[in-house]
Amino acid sequence: MDFSPIIIGTMRWGIWGANHSKKEVQNLIQSSLEQKLSTFDHADIYGNYTTEKLFGNAFSEMNLKREEVQFISKCGIEMPCDNRNFSVKSYNYSKEHLLKSVDQSLANLKTDYLDLLLLHRPSPLMNPEEIAESFSILKTQHKVRHFGVSNFSPSQFDLINNAFPLITNQVEVSLNEPKAFYDGTLDQMIMKQLKPMAYSVLGNYFSENTEENKRIKKVLTVLCEKYNVEENQILLAFILKHPAQIYPIIGTSRAENLVKFKNSLSIDLEREDWFKLLEAKTNIEVD
């Protein structure tokens, strides 16, 4: 399954962030496609279960071909909010819930299939055989083309993958949060010849004034001048350097940032520069 080299995240397009109008969403979709970024990442819970519908209403009026874009969505979290009467936040991977969730996402997005469905977070109660049965039904009904997981450990990935073939694990990866470099998550994707997806790729660099980020800024200042780019582009290039061929998810709600992120694809950080950034994050030399 081919996705665009950068995936567009929609989590903050609705009431969880920018609170865009339908027209503003259409402008973002159009701007993304102009940069040949055609994959859009959703989850049923985004915007308290409203952002998928916002996107679907916007996309359906744009006279675009569905086969030229890719829709990803996630399900499995039951989140109490004004739009859902759950008594506690929990995970539900029962066959009934999975089938119902996909049908709702299809209705929200005004499409008859998802290119990729992800289990949003691992549950201690998930039954791999029941999940596999649900996936088989969705595949046979042509409602979902491919399946994956999000935030799963390597062993949790194997638990589901042994029952039904998965194509990706979407996890948090950034200079601020490089855990996936060391815990086997990305190693597993390489071994299985699968491409992972990464969210929060800019970390907390722009939101938190920590000592760690002050160290990172010193290195970024030098590298931005060296490569003639901006800080967010270097942070993205740091992720793209990894041999796992990561699909980064960019959660921007501003069209002008799309060009900058697209240009990050052409930045090839030198190996020593990559390790200078890593050392700034950890504040220690590698062993």
| β-strand pairing of 70-75 with 77-78 | unpaired
Residue type, 15: I
Compute the distance between CA of residue 186 and CA of residue 113 in angstroms, rounded to an integer.
Answer: 28
Residues across the chain: 287
Residues 8/39, Cβ–Cβ less than 8 Å? yes
Compute the distance between CA of residue 10 and CA of residue 73 in angstroms, rounded to an integer.
Answer: 10
C-alpha torsion sign, points 81, 197, 283, 233: negative
46, 49, 205, 247: the active-site residue: 46
182 is catalytic: no
Angle, vertex CA 203, rays to CA 237 and CA 4, nearest 5: 50
* Tokens linked to 206: 């722009």
Compute the distance between CA of residue 222 and CA of residue 224 in angstroms, rounded to an integer.
Answer: 6
Residues carrying an active site annotation: 46
